[in-house]
């Protein structure tokens, strides 16, 4: 990279810092700080949702999978798109009248305080791990740009995200998401994709040079496709960072339509990045680390200026996802643990102050875990294993089966979380089995314990009124 590309990235990072300062002036109440005042219209909301569900793992990971498996690598992000569509079509209507903005609040209303607490802990771990994936990606990009060590690169990227998120909360996150959505759309669809195809002599020439099976949509394997379905369709339905963005919409109609539109955008994004990964394989067949497919190809084919803009688009995807995830984790800890159990009469000023402190702590932990794991796809799998395996069944069962009891929900979350971590220990972090163990354990426990109890025996007054 030359000075022009670096200047573009410096300008981009500076804009994010300025937005963080602007967000501070808007976030004058806890409602503004946590939910951006619930004022977003359709077009703004589509941009924000798309920015938060498509992160660095989606961008760099899809190119990596395209490099390894061809067009079937797109299943990773396609399942994310299907998950956000399912959330909009089937869940938004069910949760819109509950006056909640976290998954734990809803589970608490349905099942009681114990379930609210344990689900807050589990979901906070998930959102923390999502932040970890994005910081790993930021480290990859900054390392490619400046040649800095991985840890220093993660500190720079993560530090900028923490700065604007801590200052302005959801307002800063929303404003930066709008900027980042525009940049990532231009960078991927209008620069990187056409430039990649041009560099290999066009689509037909690329198709002739990739290995056999690269245009087979099942080339990645049915087991992997099924794993992505379990992880991301189920995971997006119960993802706190996505829920918190849904509640920034001005009404239910906007939330539903923007969720569907974001899902369609995700499918197109997935296919585009898989093609970019295949182009990287044609031009860089001896690339040692497939995780570098996107950045290495960009640095090889793009002229000065465009390179900086495209890498800024990747940083946009990373930072929007990271800020949303870290802020969601902070919200869960502040609202569902600290406020609900320790400082019950928390004022707006206290809420904002404590949220900022918690966000700082969560961000520092994310950087530490990122330096330890360093594999973006493995970190993402771990995050969704924990969330989908432990939370999906109690949430969906609670919404659609009135008889499910508080005790059954609590036991199912505890048992499934334990099953997931046992699965990690036995089969490794990248195995499909831990999430299967978690979902199966959760379903068996919640059904068995519920049927073993007298109907309504342990329902709290609050959960009875919702059921």
Q: 3-class SS at 249?
A: strand
Burial of 31 (0-12, 13-18, 19+ CB in 10 A): middle
At 167, the pLDDT band (50, 70, 90 cuts) reads confident
11-29: pLDDT as tens digits:
888 887 787 777 777 767 7
Token couple for 338: 């600290």
Name the more confident of 173 and 229.
229
Residue-range domains of the chain with CATH: 3-377 (1.20.1730.10)
Q: Which residues pair with 249 in a beta bridge?
A: 40
Number of helices (H) and strands (E), helices first, in the chain? 23, 0
Contact by Cβ (8 Å): 59, 133: no
Q: What is the pLDDT of residue 341?
A: 86
Token couple for 96: 């819109």
Q: What is the pLDDT of residue 192?
A: 95
Q: What is the pLDDT of residue 14?
A: 85
At 155, the pLDDT band (50, 70, 90 cuts) reads confident
Q: What is the pLDDT of residue 467?
A: 44
Name the more confident of 36 and 105.
105
CA 22 vs. chain centroid, Å, equals 25
Q: Which residue has the tokens 């980042």?
A: 180
Segment 83-107 mean pLDDT: 84
Q: Is the pLDDT of residue 465 over 70?
A: no
Name the more confident of 33 and 261.
261
251-280: pLDDT as tens digits:
889 999 999 999 999 999 999 999 999 999
Q: Is the pLDDT of residue 459 over 60?
A: no
Q: Which residue has the tokens 């040692």?
A: 288
The CA-CA-CA angle for residues 416, 420, 423, to 5°, reads: 135
**C-alpha–C-alpha distance, residues 57 and 52, integer Å:** 11
**C-alpha–C-alpha distance, residues 425 and 451, integer Å:** 32
Q: What is the pLDDT of residue 456?
A: 57
Q: Is the pLDDT of residue 84 over 90?
A: yes
Q: Is the pLDDT of residue 466 over 50?
A: no
Terminal-to-terminal C-alpha distance of the chain: 59
For the entire predicted model, the pTM comes to: 0.81
387-446: pLDDT as tens digits:
888 899 999 998 889 899 999 999 999 999 999 999 999 998 878 899 999 999 999 999
Contacts with 333 (C-beta within 8 Å, 6 or more apart), sequence order: 120, 124, 358, 362
Segment 62-74 mean pLDDT: 96
**C-alpha–C-alpha distance, residues 102 and 322, integer Å:** 18
Contacts with 238 (C-beta within 8 Å, 6 or more apart), sequence order: 103, 123, 387, 388, 391, 392, 395
**C-alpha–C-alpha distance, residues 249 and 354, integer Å:** 25
At 317, the pLDDT band (50, 70, 90 cuts) reads confident
Contact by Cβ (8 Å): 302, 279: no
Name the more confident of 122 and 371.
122
Q: Which residues pair with 40 in a beta bridge?
A: 249
**C-alpha–C-alpha distance, residues 319 and 154, integer Å:** 12
Q: Kindly state the percentage of the chain with pLDDT values over 90.
A: 40
Sign of CA pseudo-dihedral 320, 62, 123, 89: positive
Q: Is the pLDDT of residue 321 over 80?
A: no
Q: Is the pLDDT of residue 450 over 90?
A: yes
343-377: pLDDT as tens digits:
888 888 898 899 989 999 998 888 888 877 766 66
Q: How many CB atoms lie within 10 A of CB 232?
A: 28
Q: What is the pLDDT of residue 67?
A: 96
Label residues 319-354 b or e (16+ Cβ within 10 Å = b).
Answer: bbbbbbbbbbbbbbbbbbbbbbeeeeebeeeebbeb
Contact by Cβ (8 Å): 245, 52: yes
Q: Is the pLDDT of residue 134 over 90?
A: no
Average pLDDT, the chain: 86
Segment 134-141 mean pLDDT: 78
Contacts with 185 (C-beta within 8 Å, 6 or more apart), sequence order: 313
């Amino acid at each position: 990279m030359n000075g022009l590309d670096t200047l573009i990235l410096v300008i981009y990072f500076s804009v994010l810092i300025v937005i963080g300062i602007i967000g501070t002036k808007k976030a004058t109440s806890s409602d503004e700080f946590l939910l951006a005042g619930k004022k977003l219209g359709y077009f703004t909301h589509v941009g924000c949702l798309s920015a938060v569900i498509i992160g660095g793992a989606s961008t760099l990971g899809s190119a990596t999978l395209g490099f390894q498996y061809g067009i079937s690598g797109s299943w990773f992000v396609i399942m994310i798109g299907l998950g956000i569509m399912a959330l909009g079509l089937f869940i938004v209507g069910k949760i819109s009248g509950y006056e909640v903005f976290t998954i734990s609040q809803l589970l608490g209303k349905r099942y009681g305080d114990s379930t609210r607490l344990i689900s807050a802990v589990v979901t906070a771990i998930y959102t923390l791990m999502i932040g970890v994936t994005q910081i790993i990606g930021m480290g990859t990009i900054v390392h490619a740009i400046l040649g800095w060590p991985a840890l220093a690169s993660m500190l720079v990227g993560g530090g900028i995200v923490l700065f604007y998120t801590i200052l302005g909360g959801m307002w800063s996150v929303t404003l930066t998401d709008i900027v980042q959505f525009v940049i990532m759309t231009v960078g991927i669809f209008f620069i990187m994709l056409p430039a990649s195809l041009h560099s290999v002599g066009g689509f037909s020439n690329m198709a002739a040079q990739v290995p056999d099976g690269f245009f087979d949509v099942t080339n990645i394997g049915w087991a992997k496709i099924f794993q992505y379905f379990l992880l991301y369709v189920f995971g997006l339905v119960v993802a706190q960072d996505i829920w918190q963005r849904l509640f920034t919409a001005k009404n239910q109609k906007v939330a539903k339509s923007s969720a569907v539109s974001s899902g369609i955008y995700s499918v197109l994004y997935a296919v585009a990045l898989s093609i970019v990964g295949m182009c990287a394989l044609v031009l860089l067949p001896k690339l040692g680390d497939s995780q570098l497919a996107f950045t290495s190809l960009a640095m090889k084919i793009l002229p000065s200026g465009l390179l900086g803009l495209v890498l800024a688009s990747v940083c946009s995807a990373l930072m929007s996802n990271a800020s949303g995830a870290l802020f969601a984790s902070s919200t869960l800890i502040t609202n569902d643990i600290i406020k609900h159990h320790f400082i019950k009469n928390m004022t707006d000023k206290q809420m904002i102050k404590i949220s900022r402190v918690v966000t700082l702590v969560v961000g520092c932990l994310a950087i530490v875990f990122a330096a330890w794991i360093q594999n973006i796809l493995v970190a993402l799998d771990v995050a969704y294993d924990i969330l989908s395996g432990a939370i999906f069944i109690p949430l969906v069962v609670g919404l659609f089966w009135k008889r499910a009891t508080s005790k059954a929900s609590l036991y199912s979350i505890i048992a499934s979380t334990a099953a997931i971590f046992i699965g990690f220990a036995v089969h490794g972090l990248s195995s499909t089995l831990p999430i299967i163990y978690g979902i199966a354990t959760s379903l068996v426990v919640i059904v068995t314990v519920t049927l073993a109890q007298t109907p309504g025996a342990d329902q709290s007054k609050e959960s009875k009124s919702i059921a």
